[in-house]
Amino acid sequence: MRKFICSVCGYIYDESNGTFKDLPNDWVCPICGATKEAFEIQGESIVTDKKLNSTIEEVSDIKEMSSLEASALCTNLARGCEKQYKPEEANLFSDLGSYFKGVTPTAENP
């Protein structure tokens, strides 16, 4: 007996209840309401015609960050880590923020 898995919610339809082909065309998943087309045969691998690229393309529209911008980024990441109760990571980002702030040249008054 084949089993069909809903690609939306993971519901498994077992053909011991009746063949999948005999189900009416308007049959939907009892859990999420997905149509029959959303079901795939369990254990059957999906073959794609696309060739996967193993190289990472370099994006050219990213600008270099100044040390002050890097300091602000690291400080914000430290705050986010604090909110997620990750004190070690927060301390590391704080240290990085302090470093970048220290290497930032002082602004001259115009």
Q: Which of 63, 74, 62, 64 shows the shortest CA–CA distance to 102? A: 74
The tokens for 20 are 């999948």
Q: Which of 65, 64, 68 shows the shortest CA–CA distance to 100? A: 68
Query: 3-41: which CATH topology?
Result: Rubrerythrin, domain 2 (2.20.28)
Residue positions counted in the chain: 110
What are the residue boundaries of the structural domains of the chain, listed by start? 3-41, 67-102
Mean pLDDT of 24-29: 89
Q: Where residue 50 falls among pLDDT bands split at 50, 70, 90?
A: low
Model pTM above 0.75: no
pLDDT value at residue 23: 87
* Res. 60: pLDDT tops 80: no
- Which letter, b or e, does each residue of 80-108 get, where b requires 16 or more Cβ atoms within 10 Å of its Cβ? ebeeeeeeeebeebbebbeebeeeeeeee
Mean pLDDT of 40-61: 66
